[in-house]
Amino acid sequence: MTVTCQADGTWSPTVPASCDQFTCPAVQNVTFASYNTSSTAYDTVVGYTCDSGYMFSDGTVTRSTRCNELGAWTVTGIPACVALTCPQLTPIANGVINSTGLTYQSVATYVCDKGFMMPDGSKTGNQTCEMSATWTPTLSPMGCQVINCTMPPPVGVFANYSEPLDENQTSWIYGTKITYNCTNGYVFSTGDTQRFSRCTAQGDWLPPDIVCASEPIKVEKRTTRYPPKEAPGAAITGSVGVIVLVSVVVSIVASDIRTLKRHLSWAKANIQSRSRKARPEEKTGVLN
């Protein structure tokens, strides 16, 4: 400040006893952010940092302001932090991808279709929405690719492919089926002469081994049947047994016939007796 010596020998304006330090207004509160100091002294720098998962509209997460020599903040009206979001997920080829959301720490899960996988060999995995507002890790733009099998199981000494394979071919796609045939006189362990090996969704061949073995010689089983031999005296013993059995049956039947006749005789006598009692007496007379 400037002071002037007056005619009366005084200074005007009056010089203060000391200088006071400039101060700025109270530190501004910013929504979803914190600041590093609440000091309002001259030349103080206040730094703002957005909360985790939030950022300023320009994509940054920090801002600052300084108290200048005029007692004012160099930057005022700092906007609120907004929720951090990652971009919309891009569909992947030969698979599906879904997420729990687009905000910070949301998780996206991808699953390749059967018979397909990512270039890194994975068939399923996760991405996370990071503070950089990007999905991590980054997926291949090629998406899921068809699974390939390497050279199919080699044929054994006694087997061959149904069709010659291309000698220059080094891989076969998922689902490819190779047919093997055993040569004459040889079979697989199942007894068949033909077998298939298929390129699976895991990138291997199933079954993995193709082995033909010598066909076992079939021996017909013969069974000789001999007529049963009779025991000595069996004919005599059998005849005697038959005679005894017939005698017993005849005696039982004869006994039953005699009993039946007695019953019939009693019944007849009983009927005649009742008939006489029921008929009125007949009177007889003599004619003169």
Burial 55-75 (b: 16+ CB within 10 A, else e): bbeeeebebebebeeeeebee
pLDDT (tens digit, 0 to 9) for every residue of the chain, 288 residues total? Answer: 677 888 887 877 776 666 777 899 999 999 999 999 999 999 999 999 999 999 999 989 999 999 999 999 999 999 999 999 999 998 999 999 999 999 999 999 999 999 999 988 889 999 999 988 899 998 888 899 999 888 888 776 677 776 656 778 888 888 888 888 888 888 887 888 888 888 888 888 888 777 888 765 454 555 556 555 655 555 555 565 556 565 655 566 566 666 656 666 666 666 666 666 555 544 444 433
Integer Cα distance of 69 and 288 in angstroms: 192
Its pTM stands at 0.49
Strands 4-5 and 11-12 turn out to be: antiparallel
Q: Could you tell me the domains of the chain?
A: 19-83 (2.10.70.10), 95-146 (2.10.70), 159-213 (2.10.70)
Predicted pLDDT at 284: 42
Which pair of structure tokens corresponds to residue 198?
Answer: 């298929």
